[in-house]
């Protein structure tokens, strides 16, 4: 009979057999797949594993701290935490085209990762959190390419020049099995059932040119929205929810004074496959609370709007 503990034993044995006494590196993003892969590898060959976690300056509020606390702290994983935020932000300065931004973020990630990997000359394996749907998708990518609307840069795009053997311990699993495995390995449910977060991060949620000032405001607004979704039980009823920063100022009034500050949009969708999506019918009282909190707590934002566009014709992200 198939059980998760049994599956873990088998997977661990298989990884040990494959890897022997060689060293493994893994790009840890904090997303579900790379997190579960890290936890599984830690269980199997912990002493031989080093994770590389790149802070690109486009992560959510306290995300780097949380990833470090969970993996380096609780699980005892060796994590190389690279703060490359200044480099990413300086490469992005002056660039407002969405695809150009994606390319820069993808390219910088590869540079940073490669530099770090070169400092680990004993590493023989590159582990990735590839899951079964990714395997099918890339098998069909020749025909899919023509239909790609947005170029996606995930950890998957690392070059062969690293000369590492590929280790993909999750490649037989579907997403819900990956989540179950994560919980069985001791990862917190909130982490394993988190909404997806795009590889380019806040880079595609700040419309147009990315600036640190915008990213800092967006991080705080987004944390408030997610906080209230969790508190109201709506987080698990939506497939993805986030705040988008609009580089537009509008007039407001606060006390006796006039304000002229930034606008943010709330986006929350329900979807099965992320190919089509409906905007979530969040209760007005919840929207009101989120709006009040953002405007009161985040100095610099004086207007909040709700996105009521379906996919298609809109996409889930705004860029
Ligand atoms: P769209 O905006 O195309 O998004 O409706 C569909 C899903 O894909 C995610 N997304 C990305 N994920 N790199 C990623 O890793 C990207 O460049 C990217 N763009 C969109 C989006 O968050 C949604 O879940």
Same domain, yes or no: 134 and 282: no
Q: How far apart are CA 249 and CA 270, in angstroms?
A: 29
The pLDDT of residue 159 is 67
Same domain, yes or no: 106 and 130: yes
Same domain, yes or no: 21 and 130: yes
* Residues counted in the chain: 319
Give domain status of residue 312, yes or no: no
| pLDDT < 50: residue spans in the chain | 144-147, 153, 155
Nearest Cα neighbor of 158 from 191, 195, 199, 194 is 199
Give the residues across from 104 on adjacent strands.
Answer: none
The pLDDT of residue 145 is 46
Same domain, yes or no: 51 and 147: yes
The ipTM of this complex is: 0.99
The pLDDT of residue 152 is 59
The pLDDT of residue 140 is 67
Give domain status of residue 200, yes or no: no
The pLDDT of residue 49 is 98
Top mutation candidate among 274, 277, 278, 314 for ligand 1, by most atoms within 8 Å of CB? 274
The pLDDT of residue 146 is 44
The pLDDT of residue 259 is 97
Domain total of the chain? 2
The pLDDT of residue 291 is 98
Contact (Cβ atoms closer than 8 angstroms) between residue 29 and residue 184 = no
Same domain, yes or no: 219 and 155: no
Q: How far apart are CA 315 and CA 117, in angstroms?
A: 35
For strand 78-83 and strand 257-270, is the pairing parallel, antiparallel, or unpaired? Answer: unpaired
Query: Would you give the distance in Å from CA 178 to the centre of its chain?
Result: 16
Pocket residues for ligand 1 (CB within 6 Å)?
A: 102, 150, 152-154, 196, 198-200, 204, 240, 274, 311, 315-317
Ligand 1 atom, smallest distance to 199 CA: 15
Same domain, yes or no: 132 and 274: no
Q: Tell me whether the omega of the peptide bond preceding residue 313 falls within 30 degrees of 0, making it cis.
A: yes
Give domain status of residue 268, yes or no: yes
Same domain, yes or no: 44 and 126: yes
Top mutation candidate among 129, 153, 317 for ligand 1, by most atoms within 8 Å of CB? 317
Give domain status of residue 311, yes or no: no
Give domain status of residue 313, yes or no: no
For the record, the structure tokens of 12 come out as: 């661990």
Q: pTM of the entire structure?
A: 0.94
Q: Where do the H-state alpha helices sit in 60-211?
A: 63-68, 85-92, 98-118, 132-139, 141-144, 175-184, 189-192
Nearest Cα neighbor of 70 from 86, 56, 81 is 81
CATH of the domain at 210: 3.30.300.10
Same domain, yes or no: 183 and 99: yes
- For 60-81, the pLDDT digits (tens) are 999 999 999 999 999 999 999 9
CATH of the domain at 157: 3.40.50.620
Q: How far apart are CA 226 and CA 218, in angstroms?
A: 12
Q: Among the three residues 192, 224, 243, which one is the final residue of a domain in this structure?
A: 192
User: Which residues have C-beta within 8 Å of that of residue 286, sequence separation ≥ 6?
Assistant: 228, 229, 232, 234
Same domain, yes or no: 118 and 68: yes
Same domain, yes or no: 225 and 147: no
- For 225-263, the pLDDT digits (tens) are 999 999 999 999 999 999 999 999 999 998 899 999 999
Give domain status of residue 319, yes or no: no
Q: How far is the CA of 135 from the centre of ligand 1 (A)?
A: 17
Give domain status of residue 315, yes or no: no
Q: Among the three residues 157, 192, 227, which one is the final residue of a domain in this structure?
A: 192
Same domain, yes or no: 168 and 257: no
Give domain status of residue 199, yes or no: no
Q: How far apart are CA 67 and CA 262, in angstroms?
A: 30
Same domain, yes or no: 183 and 226: no
Domain residues for the domain of 162 are 4-192
Q: Among the three residues 135, 163, 192, which one is the final residue of a domain in this structure?
A: 192
């Amino acid at each position: 009979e198939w059980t998760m503990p049994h599956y873990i034993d088998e997977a661990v044995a298989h990884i040990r057999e494959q890897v022997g006494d060689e060293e493994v590196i893994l790009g840890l993003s904090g997303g579900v797949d790379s997190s579960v892969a890290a936890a599984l590898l830690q269980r199997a060959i912990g002493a031989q594993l080093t994770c590389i976690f790149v802070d690109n300056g486009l992560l959510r509020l306290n995300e780097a701290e949380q990833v470090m606390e969970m993996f380096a702290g609780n699980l005892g994983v060796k994590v190389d935490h690279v703060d490359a935020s200044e480099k990413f932000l300086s490469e992005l300065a002056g660039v407002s085209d969405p695809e150009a931004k994606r390319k820069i973020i993808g390219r910088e990630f590869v540079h940073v990762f490669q530099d770090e990997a070169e400092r680990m000359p004993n590493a023989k394996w590159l582990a990735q959190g590839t899951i079964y749907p990714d395997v099918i998708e890339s098998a069909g990518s020749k025909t899919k390419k023509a239909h790609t609307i947005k170029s996606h840069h995930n950890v998957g795009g690392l070059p062969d020049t690293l000369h590492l053997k590929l280790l993909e311990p999750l490649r037989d699993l579907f997403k819900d099995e990956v989540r179950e495995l994560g919980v069985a390995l001791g990862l917190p449910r909130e982490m394993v059932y988190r909404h997806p977060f795009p590889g380019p991060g806040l880079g595609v949620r700040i419309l147009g040119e990315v600036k640190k000032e915008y990213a800092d405001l967006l991080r705080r607004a987004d944390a408030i929205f997610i906080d209230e979704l969790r508190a109201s039980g709506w987080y698990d009823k939506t497939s993805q929810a986030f705040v988008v920063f609009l580089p537009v100022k509008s007039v407001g009034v606060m006390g006796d004074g006039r304000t002229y500050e930034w606008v943010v949009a709330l986006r929350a969708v329900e979807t099965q496959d992320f190919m089509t999506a409906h905007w979530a019918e969040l209760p007005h009282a919840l929207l009101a609370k989120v709006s009040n909190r953002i405007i009161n707590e985040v100095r610099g934002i004086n207007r909040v709007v709700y996105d009521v566009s379906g996919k298609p014709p809109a996409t889930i992200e705004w860029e």
